[in-house]
A and B are shown apart, each in its own frame.
Chain A
Amino acid sequence: MATITVNGIRREVNAPGDTPLLYVLRNDLELTGPQFGCGLAQCGACSILIDGKEVRSCITALSDVGENQEVTTLEGLPARWAKQKGIPAEEAKTTLHPVQQAWIEEQTPQCGFCQNGMIIKATELLESNPHPTLLQIKAAFTTSGLSPNLCRCGTYGAIIDAVNHAAQIMARG
Chain B
Amino acid sequence: MTILRAKQLNVFGATLSRRQFIKAGGVLVVGGSLAGPRALKGEGAEPAAMGNSIDASLPNSWIEINPDNTILIRTGKNDFGQGTVFTAYPQIVADELSVPFEAITTVVQGHTDRTPDGSGAFDFLGEGMPNIRKVAAYTYQALLDLASERLGVAKDKVTVKDGIVSGGGKSISYGDLIKDQQLKLTIPVSGSLSGIEGIKVEGKPPMKPVSEYSVIGKSFKNSATTAKVTAKEKWATDVRLPGMLHARVVHPKTLGSTLISAGQVDKTKYKNAQVIVKGNLVGVVAPTEWEAIQAAEQVASATKWTEWKGLPGNAKLYQHLRGESDWKSAPVAAASTNKGNAAVALATGKKKLSATYQLSYMKHAPIGPTMAVADVKPDGTVHIHTHNQNPQLLRSEIAMMLRTTPDHVIVHAYAGPGHYGRSNGGNAGAEDEAVILSQALGKPVRVQWSRADDMQWSTQSAAAYSDVQLAIDEKGKIAAYQIDHYMPAMQDDRPIGAVLAGLPTMSAPDVQADSVTSTVNGLSDPWVYAPVPNVMERGHGTFQVGQKASPIAVGLRDHSMRTPGQFQQNYPRELAISEAAALAGADAIQFRIDHASEERAIGVLKAVREASGWDTRPSPRPGAKSTGSAPVRGRGVSLMYRSLTYWACVCEITVNPSTGAIVVEKSTIAVDPGIVINPMQLKRQVEGGAVMGVSHALFDEVNFNESGVTADDWISYPIPSMADIPEIKVVLINNPKVSTYGGGSEAANALAAPAIAAALHDATGKMVRRLPLKAAYVQAALKT
The chain A residues found within 8 Å of chain B, CB to CB, are: 15-16, 18-20, 23, 26-27, 30-33, 35-40, 42-43, 45, 73-75, 78, 96, 100, 103-104, 107-116, 119, 137-138, 141-143, 147-160
Tell me, yes or no, whether B309 is within 8 Å of chain A by CB.
Answer: no
Nearest first, the 4 A-B pairs at minimum CB distance are A154-B691, A110-B81, A111-B418, A148-B721
Q: Is the CB of A27 within 8 A of B687?
A: no
Q: Is the CB of A113 within 8 A of B713?
A: no
Q: Is the CB of A153 within 8 A of B237?
A: no
Tell me, yes or no, whether B288 is within 8 Å of chain A by CB.
Answer: yes
Residue of B nearest to A137 (CB): B722
| B268-308 to A contact mask, C-beta < 8 Å, 1/0 | 00000000000000000000111000000000000000000
Given the interface contacts A19-B290, A112-B233, does A36 sit within 8 Å of B225 by beta carbon? no
| B699-730 to A contact mask, C-beta < 8 Å, 1/0 | 00000000000000111000111110100100
Q: Is the CB of B725 within 8 A of A27?
A: no
A38 to B226, CA, bound (A): 25
Tell me, yes or no, whether B692 is within 8 Å of chain A by CB.
Answer: yes
Q: Which residues of chain A come closer than 8 Å to B684, judged between CB atoms?
A: 107-108, 110, 155, 158
A142 to B231, CA, bound (A): 24
Q: Is the CB of A75 within 8 A of B368?
A: no
Q: Is the CB of A150 within 8 A of B367?
A: yes
A45 to B367, CA, bound (A): 8
Q: Is the CB of B714 within 8 A of A147?
A: yes
Name A39's contact: one of B80, B233, B451, B680 (CB within 8 Å).
B451
Q: Is the CB of B448 within 8 A of A36?
A: yes
Q: Is the CB of B688 within 8 A of A148?
A: no
11 contacts between A and B (CB under 8 A): A109-B81, A109-B229, A110-B418, A114-B367, A137-B722, A142-B723, A149-B722, A152-B418, A153-B692, A156-B691, A158-B684
Residue of A nearest to B246 (CB): A27
A107 to B368, CA, bound (A): 21
Residue of B nearest to A148 (CB): B721
Min Cβ gap A156→B in Å is 4
Min Cβ gap A13→B in Å is 12
Q: Identify which of B225, B237, B728 gathers the most chain A CB atoms within 10 Å of its CB.
A: B225
Q: Which residues of chain B come closer than 8 Å to A18, judged between CB atoms?
A: 290
Name A154's contact: one of B288, B415, B692, B713 (CB within 8 Å).
B692
Tell me, yes or no, whether B618 is within 8 Å of chain A by CB.
Answer: no
A45 to B417, CA, bound (A): 11
Given the interface contacts A32-B238, A36-B237, A43-B367, does A150 sit within 8 Å of B230 by beta carbon? no
Q: Which residues of chain A come closer than 8 Å to B367, judged between CB atoms?
A: 35, 37, 43, 45, 111, 113-114, 150-152
A18 to B85, CA, bound (A): 42
| B239-274 to A contact mask, C-beta < 8 Å, 1/0 | 010000000000000000000000000000000000
Q: Which residues of chain A come closer than 8 Å to B690, judged between CB atoms?
A: 154
Min Cβ gap A57→B in Å is 13
A15 to B286, CA, bound (A): 14
A143 to B723, CA, bound (A): 9
Min Cβ gap B324→A in Å is 33
Min Cβ gap B550→A in Å is 27
Q: Is the CB of A150 within 8 A of B290?
A: no
| B92-135 to A contact mask, C-beta < 8 Å, 1/0 | 00000000000000000000000000000000000000000000
Q: Identify which of B288, B720, B721, B722 gathers the most chain A CB atoms within 10 Å of its CB.
A: B722
The A contact surface, by secondary structure, is loop
Name A153's contact: one of B229, B230, B415, B418 (CB within 8 Å).
B418
Name B722's contact: one of A78, A141, A153 (CB within 8 Å).
A141
A75 to B723, CA, bound (A): 28
Q: Is the CB of B237 within 8 A of A111?
A: no
Name A104's contact: one of B229, B448, B725 (CB within 8 Å).
B229
Q: Is the CB of A150 within 8 A of B688?
A: no
Q: Which residues of chain B come closer than 8 Å to A148, judged between CB atoms?
A: 721-723
A19 to B680, CA, bound (A): 42
Q: Which residues of chain A come closer than 8 Å to B240, judged between CB atoms?
A: 27, 30
Name A15's contact: one of B231, B288, B415 (CB within 8 Å).
B288
A150 to B715, CA, bound (A): 12
Q: Which residues of chain A come closer than 8 Å to B231, judged between CB atoms?
A: 31-33, 73-75, 116
Tell me, yes or no, whether B681 is within 8 Å of chain A by CB.
Answer: yes
Residue of B nearest to A110 (CB): B81
Q: Which residues of chain A come closer than 8 Å to B692, judged between CB atoms?
A: 152-154
Q: Which residues of chain B come closer than 8 Å to A100, judged between CB atoms?
A: 229-230
Name B721's contact: one of A30, A111, A116, A150 (CB within 8 Å).
A150
A62 to B713, CA, bound (A): 24
Q: Which residues of chain A come closer than 8 Å to B418, judged between CB atoms?
A: 110-111, 113, 152-153
Tell me, yes or no, whether B198 is within 8 Å of chain A by CB.
Answer: no
Q: Which residues of chain A come closer than 8 Å to B471, judged between CB atoms?
A: none
A117 to B719, CA, bound (A): 17
Q: Is the CB of A153 within 8 A of B233?
A: no
A23 to B446, CA, bound (A): 14
Q: Is the CB of B229 within 8 A of A45?
A: no
Tell me, yes or no, whether B235 is within 8 Å of chain A by CB.
Answer: yes
Tell me, yes or no, whether B224 is within 8 Å of chain A by CB.
Answer: yes
A73 to B230, CA, bound (A): 10
A158 to B448, CA, bound (A): 30
Q: Is the CB of B687 within 8 A of A154?
A: yes
A31 to B230, CA, bound (A): 11
Given the interface contacts A42-B713, A103-B229, A138-B723, does A37 sit within 8 Å of B689 by beta carbon? no
Q: Identify which of A40, A45, A75, A159 gathers the most chain B CB atoms within 10 Å of its CB.
A: A40
Q: Which residues of chain A come closer than 8 Å to B714, judged between CB atoms?
A: 38, 40, 42-43, 147, 150
Residue of B nearest to A32 (CB): B238
Q: Is the CB of B225 within 8 A of A104?
A: yes
Q: Is the CB of A112 within 8 A of B225?
A: yes
Q: Is the CB of A109 within 8 A of B228?
A: yes
Tell me, yes or no, whether B366 is within 8 Å of chain A by CB.
Answer: yes
Tell me, yes or no, whether B765 is within 8 Å of chain A by CB.
Answer: no
Min Cβ gap A48→B in Å is 12
Tell me, yes or no, whether B450 is within 8 Å of chain A by CB.
Answer: yes
For window 454-473 of B, CB contacts with A under 8 Å fall at: none
* Contacts beyond the supplied A100-B230, A154-B687: 17 A-B pairs with Cβ under 8 Å: A23-B289, A32-B237, A33-B231, A78-B230, A107-B221, A109-B225, A110-B81, A110-B82, A110-B684, A110-B685, A111-B418, A149-B721, A152-B365, A152-B420, A154-B692, A155-B688, A156-B720
Residue of B nearest to A105 (CB): B221
Q: Is the CB of B233 within 8 A of A37?
A: no
Min Cβ gap B501→A in Å is 25
Min Cβ gap A126→B in Å is 15
Residue of A nearest to B219 (CB): A107
Min Cβ gap B234→A in Å is 8
A102 to B432, CA, bound (A): 39
Min Cβ gap B422→A in Å is 11
Q: Is the CB of B713 within 8 A of A38?
A: yes
Q: Is the CB of A111 within 8 A of B80?
A: yes
Tell me, yes or no, whether B674 is within 8 Å of chain A by CB.
Answer: no
Tell me, yes or no, whether B416 is within 8 Å of chain A by CB.
Answer: yes
Min Cβ gap A161→B in Å is 9
Name A37's contact: one of B224, B368, B720 (CB within 8 Å).
B368
